[in-house]
Amino acid sequence: MGAEYESAPTPHEAPLVVGLQPSALIDHVARVDWSLLDQIPGDRGGSIPVAFEELEHILKEVKTHILSSPNDPSPVRTIAGGSVANTIRGLSVGFGINCGIIGAHGDDEQGRLFVNNMSFNGINLSRLRMKKGPTGQCVCLVDAVGNRTMRPCLSSAVRIQPTELTREDFKGSKVKHLVAWLVLRYAIFNLEIIHNAIRIAKQEGVCVSLDLASFEMVRNFRLPLLELLNSGDIDLCFANEDEATELLRGQQNADPEAALDFLGNHCQWAVVTLGSNGCIAKHGKEVVRVAAVREAKATDATGAGDLFASGFLYGLVKGLSLEECCRVGSCSGGAVVRSLGGEVTPDNWKWMYKQMQYNKAASLCS
């Protein structure tokens, strides 16, 4: 696919891609049976906030609902998480792109775990503040077929405030012919800082990528999202099939293709991921459909969209075609679902590189 991968970046180099995650987050990922999911309020497969007491209750219940797996000897994985962190970590480790993160972590064990993981994976932490208080946590429940249900606890977590953002936070690497990117995830409770980040990013000539987060977030806070899209400041938007449907809820045609067309009218690049059916993407008048990687056996869908974004953004940074960006995203998204949690294992990165070479050869023969 014309892709050449750099060696892993060092955290001291200026980042080409910066992610805004106002609150650092620790994921507790576990494979559980259906009965536990039936006890938890909210729709399966989505992500809605919970109080700390509810988080503790769910974690306690997890112990009696664990599904064993020969591929994951540890029944619960506790790792640095959050959609934006997953994406930039994937860009750094898997593709050698210099990345940084803007946000805040607490002065607790979870905060130290987040910092150690991000630093180990080559992320520039000069924009990550430490504050007194707890670090955010999220329980990620994975069912027998790999679908995940997420319940984040962020209400008491420390976070960076809109007024704390500076232009220095958005000054990226000045590499000739390469455009810097800001990676965002839509969240109503972060709306003020999202607007402020976009304003400063545009002043610095940085492109903006937005992930629609969850179907509940789109469903419950659709109007502010539409205002954000109508601003014309979002250069790239990612949505999964459920989020795309919610975006056009109530309209006569609310299928993924219609949602892609809608997003494409507001952004330079638009992508709707379709799970096992691959993805569709639009840039200007060009529309492509790319199949999923069939060899990707899904153990856990956590991070699939985040790592798809890693691959797609890598393609944009390197000037690949729209179809090639989708193929790279399909490979990186396929890599993370092969094990538990939103962090790709070394073996699965190797699997991804093999898929990349296979797809490159296949494209040359087509």
Who's near 82: CB < 8 A, 6+ residues apart? 21, 23, 24, 25, 27, 136, 138, 185
37 contacts 143 by C-beta, under 8 angstroms: yes
- How many Cα atoms are found within 13 Å in the side-chain-facing hemisphere of 276? 10
Helix (H, G, I), strand (E, B) or coil at 14: coil
How many of the other CB atoms lie within 10 Å of CB of 111?
23
How many of the other CB atoms lie within 10 Å of CB of 129?
15
Helix (H, G, I), strand (E, B) or coil at 170: helix
Phi, psi angles (nearest 5°) of residue 77: -105, 130
For residue 320, the model assigns a pLDDT of 95
Stretch (H or E) spanning 223: helix 222-230
For residue 71, the model assigns a pLDDT of 60
304 contacts 29 by C-beta, under 8 angstroms: no
For residue 178, the model assigns a pLDDT of 79
Distance, in Å, from the CA atom of 185 to the CA atom of 72, rounded to the nearest integer, reads 29
For residue 46, the model assigns a pLDDT of 82
For residue 300, the model assigns a pLDDT of 78
Taking phi over 0 as left and psi of -120 to 50 as alpha, with beta for the rest, 196 belongs to alpha
Torsion of CA 204, 80, 138, 206, to 10 degrees: 10
**What is residue 30's DSSP assignment?**
E
198 contacts 168 by C-beta, under 8 angstroms: no
Q: Cα angle at 216 between 338 and 87, to 5 degrees?
A: 40
Distance, in Å, from the CA atom of 345 to the CA atom of 198, rounded to the nearest integer, reads 32
For residue 296, the model assigns a pLDDT of 65
Helix (H, G, I), strand (E, B) or coil at 266: coil
Distance, in Å, from the CA atom of 315 to the CA atom of 292, rounded to the nearest integer, reads 17
Distance, in Å, from the CA atom of 348 to the CA atom of 333, rounded to the nearest integer, reads 11
Stretch (H or E) spanning 235: none
What is the DSSP annotation of 104-126? Answer: EEESSHHHHHHHHHHHHTT-B-T
238 contacts 309 by C-beta, under 8 angstroms: yes
What is the DSSP annotation of 330-346? Answer: HHHHHHHTTSSSSS--H
For residue 109, the model assigns a pLDDT of 96
pLDDT tens per residue across all 366 residues of the chain: 544 455 555 555 689 999 999 999 999 999 899 889 888 888 888 888 899 999 999 999 998 898 876 565 667 889 999 999 999 999 999 999 999 999 999 999 999 999 999 999 999 999 999 999 999 999 999 888 888 899 999 978 999 999 999 999 998 766 666 789 999 999 999 999 999 999 999 999 999 999 999 999 999 999 999 999 999 999 999 999 999 999 999 898 989 999 999 999 999 999 999 998 999 999 999 999 999 987 767 777 788 999 999 999 999 999 999 999 999 999 999 999 888 888 999 999 999 999 988 766 455 343
b/e 216-249 (16+ beta carbons within 10 angstroms → b): bbbbebeeebeebbeeebbbbbbbbbbbbbbbbe
Nearest to 102, CA basis, from 27, 162, 174: 162
State if pTM tops 0.85. Answer: yes
Q: Cα angle at 341 between 359 and 278, to 5 degrees?
A: 35
For residue 364, the model assigns a pLDDT of 38
Instruction: Give Cα separations from 1 to 37, 319, 359 (angstroms).
Output: 41, 11, 7
